Amino acid sequence: MTHLWVRAEQRPNEERVGLTPGGAADLIAAGLRVTVEESHARAIPIDGYRAAGCEIAAENSWPDAPRDAIIFGLKELPEDGTPLPHKHIMFGHAFKGQHSGRALLERFKAGGGTLYDLEYLVDENERRVAAFGYWAGYAGAAVSLKCWAAQQQGVNCPPVATYPGKDALLADLGRDLDATGKPRPTAIVIGALGRVGTGASGLCIAMGITPTRWDMAETAHGGPFPEILAHDLFINCIFARPGTPVFVPKSALAAERALGVIGDVACDPDSDYNPVPVYDAATSWDAPAIRVHSDPPLDVMAIDNLPSLLPVESSEDYAAQLLPSLRTLTDLDQGVWQRAETTFGIHMKDL
């Protein structure tokens, strides 16, 4: 019997989960064994999983799970260097030149386990089967606007926290923007046709901002892009990869510009292909923005788990997208799982 083990997230400010109680009941009915760890932070309570027929395990007990269990989480594992003997489903952030990714792959090599990276679960047309993109863009645009509002009042953006739903987020953000006493800022979204860009544009529109929307056609010439500097906000929704243009080079810091806030929703500062190389580390919920230039100010928002700002909505959306693939875990040698394992194997050869 295929055994799926849903671990508790161990990263701070991470309340999402990739499987809902309803989805768990579906998998159990299809013949899978499902274990769900207790969690002090998960936005969806454990009682729903218990009622669905899941086995309940202690929080963070996954290292002692049966060797044939498939460990399923979202964000990264504790960086303790221990070998990883299990099969893991998660966002590994290890296949795009991230410098920290090599250490994770070394742990899989030492333990003999396998990484099925959620970012690389793709269909036969190489399209991702599930993504948090819409909510990443939505929340990323919201926090970027909060950073802009704080900047207008001469202060740093205060810490952010989860919201019970998007209506509460919109109401809070509206108060922040109104408190500036200024018209709504201008914004440009790059990657606007994708899931992330659609979410970012949707948030802007909800707040009375009509963003400039660019995608591949507008950026194909490779730069420079003076239009970005002419907007108050730039929201980057394009994931770093070979060939991605540099949108805001370091030379832009001291240039004449209206640009005051960069919302790097894609957030790949650790990549050799970072399209916004004016910063080199992700920001946090406690300190959402980093100031990379003081006169005139330029702040970068680069939180790398933005969908958790709206953990229930983003979890339910993502879990619904992923469930059809989880049903096929009984046959790891075909479909999305076989393609993901092939991708893992290619990158393991580079060690």
pLDDT in tens, 17-37: 999 999 999 999 999 999 999
pLDDT at 231: 98
Contact 129, 123 (CB under 8 A): yes
Strands 114-117, 87-90: pairing is parallel
Look at residue 127 and tell me if it is in a domain: no
Tell me which residue range forms the domain holding 23.
3-120+311-348
Q: What distance lies between CA 210 and its chain's CA centroid?
A: 24
Look at residue 217 and tell me if it is in a domain: yes
Q: What distance lies between CA 305 and its chain's CA centroid?
A: 5
Same domain, 195 and 98: no
Same domain, 204 and 78: no
pLDDT at 240: 81
Same domain, 48 and 60: yes
Alpha carbons 148 and 177: distance in angstroms, whole number? 8
pLDDT at 268: 87
Same domain, 304 and 322: no
Same domain, 303 and 332: no
pLDDT at 351: 83
Look at residue 125 and tell me if it is in a domain: no
pTM of the model: 0.88
Same domain, 323 and 298: no
Q: Catalytic residue at 75?
A: yes
Look at residue 154 and tell me if it is in a domain: yes
SS3 of the chain: helix, strand, coil, percent, to 5: 35, 15, 50
Same domain, 70 and 200: no
pLDDT at 96: 77
Contact 42, 20 (CB under 8 A): no
Look at residue 128 and tell me if it is in a domain: no
Which residues does residue 299 pair with via DSSP β-bridges, in sequence order? 261, 291
Question: What CATH number is attached to the domain comprising 209?
Answer: 3.40.50.720
Nearest to 324 by CA among 314, 337, 307: 337
Of 93, 146, 166, 293, the catalytic one is: 93
Same domain, 196 and 297: yes
Same domain, 138 and 277: yes
Same domain, 291 and 317: no
Given pLDDT bands bounded at 50, 70 and 90, which one contains residue 246?
very high
Same domain, 172 and 302: yes
Max CA-CA distance within the chain?
A: 63
Q: What percent of the chain has pLDDT over 90?
A: 92
Burial label for 12, CB within 10 Å (0-12, 13-18, 19+), is exposed
Contact 175, 207 (CB under 8 A): no
Mean pLDDT for the chain overall: 96
Alpha carbons 172 and 183: distance in angstroms, whole number? 17
Which residues does residue 117 pair with via DSSP β-bridges, in sequence order? 90
Which residues does residue 87 pair with via DSSP β-bridges, in sequence order? 70, 114
Same domain, 103 and 138: no
Look at residue 126 and tell me if it is in a domain: no
Look at residue 296 and tell me if it is in a domain: yes
Look at residue 54 and tell me if it is in a domain: yes
> Is the C-alpha dihedral spanning 7, 22, 162, 206 positive or negative?
positive
Q: Catalytic residue at 347?
A: no
297 cis-preceded (ω within 30 degrees of 0): no
* 286-319 pLDDT per residue, tens: 999 999 999 999 999 999 999 999 999 999 999 9
Of 75, 146, 166, 347, the catalytic one is: 75
Total domain count, the chain? 2
Given pLDDT bands bounded at 50, 70 and 90, which one contains residue 279?
very high
pLDDT at 101: 86
Alpha carbons 45 and 48: distance in angstroms, whole number? 6
